[in-house]
Amino acid sequence: MPAVWLIEDTRGGPGTQEVRACGRALGGNCRVALLDEERLGPYAPGLYAEALRALIAQRDGEDPERSVVVLLPHTYQSAEYAPRLAVRLGAAYTASISGVSIDDRGGLRFRRSILQAKLRADVRPKTRTVVATVQVGAFGGADPAPAPADVFEVGRPADSEEDQEREILGREAASGGGVDLASAERIVTAGRGVGGPDEVSVAADLAAALNAELGASRPVVDNGWLPREHQVGSSGHVVTPDLYVALGVSGSIQHLMGMSGSRIIVAINKDREAPIFSVAHYGIVADLHDVAPALTRLLETRRSG
């Protein structure tokens, strides 16, 4: 079994459970490397890569025959320093994996999307050391993985230079219009089937009644009916809420990859052949403009009662 390192941030963030579930699927001896900006200093990709390399080499560098797998959540930050870590470890690098397995010969196989999620590829690394980033939401259907027992705080390398490769001038929260799809427990998504920009309110009203976030399929965003921060799918947000309601969403493979890990999926669509029904736990073949307002009224009545 490989030695598995799980890279986590003390501040938490999306992808932690997915990384742990992926490590559990490998069946290896999982260790956690905790990144703490207070210990490491301001973020810099070279600094993070070198600090992790030093820790991993200290613990697993004595046995050249041992397989080592390093797993990180696939975020904008990890996508910047993970390739540098792979180079410093002499490791193979695989980005945004959605599945992992061990073949009959004991070799690792990672699954990832390619060509804008139109195809899925199985990747077999040829090196004993592998660095991989795990797609957020990829293991959303799995049971929560327990916290590993071996946790190591990543310290600043003793020989690191004081002057960093970049200077942090300040930080400002990104404006997302109050949309937080990644951590939402309930999401109602408007698809092209809602009919137009003036009809998106039918999804917004149901979302409000459910105390849910409002999502959108790519056609809705491309047509300008909702801003891009609402988009669900492989080219938008990958989500795993407890409840996902799809209104007029046909269910392209790109969209399914972004929400199929949801615990309960409800689809409402006039087309009984729509691909969304292949992943739905509950499906209603009907006009969403008849069903959704009725559900909204029922929820509002129950709430007022």
Q: What is the mean pLDDT of each run of 10 residues along the chain (305 residues)?
A: 86 76 82 88 88 89 76 88 95 91 84 75 92 79 63 81 65 66 92 95 96 95 94 83 95 83 93 92 96 96 86
**∠ CA(199), CA(250), CA(299), 5° rounding?**
50
The 3-state DSSP class for residue 27 equals: coil
Task: Give CA–CA dist 268/284, Å, rounded.
Answer: 5
Residue 141 pLDDT: 52
pTM over 0.75: no
Query: What would the two tokens of residue 217 be?
Result: 């399929």
Task: Give CA–CA dist 276/267, Å, rounded.
Answer: 7
Q: Are residues 195 and 156 in the same domain?
A: no
The 3-state DSSP class for residue 161 equals: coil
* Assigned domain for 176 exists: no
* Assigned domain for 267 exists: yes
Residue 17 pLDDT: 80
Residue 145 pLDDT: 59
* Assigned domain for 293 exists: yes
- Of the three residues 164, 196, 215, the one that is the final residue of a domain is 164
* Assigned domain for 116 exists: yes
* Assigned domain for 177 exists: no
Its sign, for the CA torsion 269, 272, 273, 275, is positive
Q: Are residues 30 and 160 in the same domain?
A: yes
Cross-strand partners of 111: 99, 122
Q: Are residues 83 and 151 in the same domain?
A: yes
Q: Are residues 225 and 119 in the same domain?
A: no
Q: Are residues 151 and 246 in the same domain?
A: no
Residue 248 pLDDT: 96
CATH number of the domain bearing residue 279: 3.40.50.1220
Q: Are residues 28 and 68 in the same domain?
A: yes
Residue 26 pLDDT: 87
Task: Give CA–CA dist 60/30, Å, rounded.
Answer: 12
Q: Domain range for residue 95?
A: 3-164
Residue 179 pLDDT: 81
Provide the domain count of the chain.
Answer: 2
* Assigned domain for 174 exists: no
Task: Give CA–CA dist 249/216, Å, rounded.
Answer: 9
- Of the three residues 129, 164, 199, the one that is the final residue of a domain is 164
Residue 146 pLDDT: 60
* Assigned domain for 50 exists: yes
Say which residue the tokens 């006039």 belong to: 270
